[in-house]
Structure 1
Amino acid sequence: MRLRSLTVTVPVLLLAACASPSAPGGGGLEARSPYGLFLAGQAALNDGESRQAADYFERATRSSETTSLISERAFTAAVLSGEIEKAAAMAPATEEASEGAKRLGRLVMAVEALASGRGQAAYDLLTTQEIGFPHRTAAALLTPWAAAQAGDMQLATRRPDVPGDKLVEYFGMLGQAHQYERVRRFDEAETDFKALTEGADAPPMLVVYHGEFLERRGRRDDAVALYERAMAVYPRDVSLNLARMRALAGRSPPAAPTVRQGAAQALLTPAAAMLAARQSQFALAYVRMALRLDPERMDAWMMVGDLMGAAGDVTAARAAYGRVPAGHPDHAAAQSKLAWSLQGAGDIDAALETARAAASGGDPVGLLTLADLLRTNERYEEAIAPLNELVESSQSPDWRLLFARGAAYERMGDWPRAEADLSAALALNPDEPDILNYLAYGWIDRGERLEEALAMVQTAVDANPRSGAMIDSLGWGYYRLGQYDKAVEVLEEAVGLEAGDPEINNHLGDAYWQVGRRDEAVFQWRRVLTLEPDARIRADAEAKLASGLGPGATAAAAQAAAEPVIPALVR
């Protein structure tokens, strides 16, 4: 079972697909015509290669045969590839252009105006004609920053208002707090910051912004108290920990955001909302615009990496993660994401090398990634060291770390240590189905504490009634108790849910044999051999088929070739 750091993984909703040439980059007649270039660009866009798509579409627009559709695609591809200046120059504005493209075009032009220091032009683009759905939120949050750049601080400090839009209501207050600080209206700024962070579970990002404001006002003790209050709810939040250590050390806090930095933050808010709504194309567009305003925004580069990786553009994803420099708080997280990208591409040595580098400074994210990658690659003994470091450095026991270490010990065949860690994890989280199933299966397969184990697995199944792995554990418990008819009933249900799992099929074959359904048992064991079983399961099935005597008579032979027994949950 993987214990991975949170990563955004949602499919990128690119433009509607259409037929594409077999070789988009070829130099044939089709690739030289406007329509051929359009098809090549569409294919590249559908493959997540937005920069290549932008090149194809831009070439297509040079022809007198260019259509409104090609122009819109060229504009969209330029936005998604981060070429905001180019996109602003080709923003759709003709009557033939779709309304959606024109709305996004006005937003892009406003961002480019802000990036170029033309605040009044940006303000006019955002306000002269309303930018409607789905970009209304982004436009509303950007408007005060455009006013600030234009020098109109009365408009800049006015909180944006979009009736019914909670994002504008909430994050408009954050922008207002920063604007108040910029014009030295500190009491009003603090009122806004307090309103944003008054709850015990206020988001860490907002707590950090409030704390930085207090530090800039020379109130370090108040800032530390604010950070520590939030850390009671979010004890492992990196941003809170770093802010607290900085304040305690008396180091200077970050400066108040500039206009461009504040405008970039304003765009990341609707980007996150679009991600949550699975509108990844819009999310990527907003993040690209935020980076045009603030190219040093490392959390934005991390989002680009996640989005491009989900779109299938591994090269662009890795390049984005690589933008986060060593020494930055997000460096270990970025390297961890890069390591998983390499693992997904099958470059295991590079993945582990990257993960080891990320973990070398003791960063918890790097250590967890290294341990998880080692376990994924079945290098369980090596995984113990980073897991030990994580467990020992934790201020309070973390059941997930104990569970991960227990699973690694179990895979190594060290059941006493595995049992100790799994039992400790269960004591910390007694209702967690994964722990219940893992620990109980270990007992069941060893013929220990069967009644207790069966009750634990039943609790896990009640919580996850569609888990074939957990239902298999339940069926195997009935088998170990000698309740073979019940075992057959439950294991048939497990196979129905996980038809391709070799161990579940093997268990069902054993249960069939015990109730006298010998032909069906033989069929199940033969099927096991077609499902790429591990060495232990293969040896067991082959021994039963060769002897013709069933599971009991071949137990000794199977045990001789056995590897550590693994619950079906983690196969």
Structure 2
Amino acid sequence: MEPNYKTIADLFAVVQPTDLTVDEKPRPKEGKTAEESDALGRQSLADGDPDAAVRHFKRAVEQREATDIASRVDLAGALDYADQAPQALRQYQLALRAKSDAVEPVVGMSEIYKRYGRFRDAIEKLESAVAKEPSNPYLRIKLAETLRDAGQPKRALAAAQEAVMLKPDDAFYHYWIGDLLITMGQYDGALDSLRAAIELSPGDDHLYVRAAVAFWRAGRQVEAVKAVRLASDLDPSKHLYHGLLGILLEESDLAEEAKLESNRADKMDRYDHDLLGRLLDEMGIEA
């Protein structure tokens, strides 16, 4: 079932208010046009063959005008995926030379810099992209992610809030802020952001689990349990939720209910147990 707004309002105690599809047709070995070569490159990526993707995207670059950088950006991405970061950076640089106001190459370069610990370079690249397209919320959230990973949560929060201002109806941006605020220990603020995310995307069970973490940390155990129950209702196949519920109920001195949920968690696999351990760490509960 999908919770309605009355359910959400009750939970938070507020007044109620690129395509990688596999083509089954026989494929040519080479594209006759840039578009065909691009399609073959994307298909190769979907097939897990980055070397073939690089070959197709290189052909697409040759088939396009020098000022059309779409295929070159795709080539850079394929090279990066093939663990050829230096060559990928080179292609991004060539794309920028051909089209200095493009932001896609800048974002790609920043991702590579970040992965290799060059956070200052990554941040500078993204800030330059934001300056080129100040109304682009995606660039703001990419900057926020990089600032967070660089250990600058306050600056990350400011960048993410700017993304929300530009696109307030995007659940992900609200969720992202809520998740960041949890790590900063600002649980009430996290709940405000997660509530907004849930109102925009009430069928996303993961949002309720993140809210449960914030509720528990804020000392609101009843709401935390309720949030996990809602997550479980949305996706009954996730045994993790039963395991989490069992522990939360036990911590709340509800032994009988805890036992029932723990029994339902018997089918948890290793991955579930790993996720459960992380959630308990976030909640400050000793396993």
| TM-score bucket of the superposed structures, by smaller chain | 0.7 to 0.9
Aligned twin of 1:155: none
Q: Secondary structure at the match of 2:77?
A: helix
Q: CA deviation at 1:312?
A: 0.8
CA distance in 2, matches of 1:491, 1:401: 32
The answer to whether the aligner puts 1:275 opposite 2:51 as a matched pair is no
Aligned twin of 1:34: none
Q: Secondary structure at the match of 1:382?
A: helix
Q: Secondary structure at the match of 1:323?
A: helix
Cα offsets for 1:461-494 (capped at 9, x unmatched): 45274575x5554234213331345376578876
CA distance in 2, matches of 1:317, 1:471: 44
Identity over aligned pairs, percent? 16
The answer to whether the aligner puts 1:393 opposite 2:286 as a matched pair is no
8 Å contact from structure 2 (residues 198, 204) kept in 1: yes
CA 1:500–1:405: 2 relative to 1, 3 Å: closer
Q: Give 1:500-539 correspondences, 5 Å limit.
A: 504=277
Cα offsets for 1:207-260 (capped at 9, x unmatched): xxxxxxxxxxxxxxxxxxxxxxxxxxxxxxxxxxxxxxxxxxxxxxxxxxxxxx
Q: Quick one: which of 110, 118, 143 aligns to 1:370?
A: 143
Q: Which has the higher contact order (CA 8 A, sep 6+)?
A: 2
Q: CA deviation at 1:459?
A: 3.6
Q: Quick one: which of 383, 389, 406 aligns to 2:156?
A: 383
CA 1:497–1:292: 2 relative to 1, 3 Å: closer
Q: Give 1:288-299 correspondences, 5 Å limit.
A: 288-294=58-64, 295-299=66-70
8 Å contact from structure 2 (residues 171, 196) kept in 1: yes
TM-score, structure 1 normalization: 0.40
Aligned twin of 2:208: 436
CA distance in 1, matches of 2:216, 2:209: 10
CA distance in 1, matches of 2:269, 2:218: 22
The answer to whether the aligner puts 1:497 opposite 2:271 as a matched pair is yes
Aligned twin of 2:175: 403
8 Å contact from structure 2 (residues 175, 197) kept in 1: yes
The amino acid that maps onto 2:85 is V
CA distance in 1, matches of 2:269, 2:278: 6
Larger Rg: 1
Q: CA deviation at 1:447?
A: 3.8
Aligned twin of 2:28: 135
Q: CA deviation at 1:341?
A: 1.1
8 Å contact from structure 1 (residues 332, 358) kept in 2: yes
Q: Quick one: which of 273, 293, 300 aligns to 2:71?
A: 300
CA distance in 2, matches of 1:352, 1:504: 32
CA 1:483–1:490: 2 relative to 1, 3 Å: farther
The amino acid that maps onto 1:135 is P
Aligned twin of 1:349: 120
CA 1:506–1:305: 2 relative to 1, 3 Å: closer
Q: Secondary structure at the match of 2:96?
A: coil
CA 1:389–1:328: 2 relative to 1, 3 Å: farther
Q: Secondary structure at the match of 1:408?
A: helix
Aligned twin of 1:417: 189
Q: CA deviation at 1:415?
A: 2.0
CA 1:480–1:354: 2 relative to 1, 3 Å: same
Cα offsets for 1:188-214 (capped at 9, x unmatched): xxxxxxxxxxxxxxxxxxxxxxxxxxx
CA distance in 2, matches of 1:327, 1:365: 23
Q: Give 1:25-424 correspondences, 5 Å limit.
A: 134-135=27-28, 138=30, 142=32, 263-294=33-64, 295-325=66-96, 328=99, 331-361=102-132, 362=134, 363-394=136-167, 396-424=168-196
RMSD of aligned Cα (Å)? 3.5
CA distance in 1, matches of 2:215, 2:85: 43
CA distance in 1, matches of 2:119, 2:236: 33
CA 1:7–1:321: 2 relative to 1, 3 Å: farther
CA distance in 2, matches of 1:445, 1:454: 12
CA distance in 1, matches of 2:149, 2:236: 24
Q: CA deviation at 1:409?
A: 2.1
8 Å contact from structure 1 (residues 368, 386) kept in 2: yes
Aligned twin of 2:8: none
8 Å contact from structure 1 (residues 7, 306) kept in 2: no
CA 1:436–1:505: 2 relative to 1, 3 Å: closer
Cα offsets for 1:370-419 (capped at 9, x unmatched): 1112223443211111112111122x521111111122222222222211
8 Å contact from structure 1 (residues 384, 408) kept in 2: yes
